[in-house]
Amino acid sequence: MDRFSKEKFKENPKKYLSRFPLDADDVEMILSFDVKKLQQVGVSSLLTMGYWIEMSPDKSMVTYNKKLGSESSYSASIKG
């Protein structure tokens, strides 16, 4: 993701997302950083982790893993 896009997203996330063909549920998953639901609908775990690291107000991987339902401190992209 380029710097310009990141800044525009941070300035006004809803306005930025309105450029894409997303329904209300999609927008809510993105804005609430619901990485578990994003993965359940088919978004790559590597993409959700990158999104979390780049855009989440809480960049903690512990919090990221808790949102996935895991207490592990290991990367969520490594399964099993």
The pTM (predicted TM-score) of the whole model is 0.80
- For residue 54, what are the CA distances in angstroms to 24, 32, 63, 80? 23, 14, 14, 25
Name the one residue in this structure whose structure tokens are 């209300």: 24
Quick: pLDDT tens for 18-42: 999 999 999 999 999 999 999 999 9
**DSSP state string for 33-70:** T-HHHHHHTT--HHHHHHHHHHH-S---HHHHHHHTT-
At residue 80, does pLDDT exceed 90?
A: no
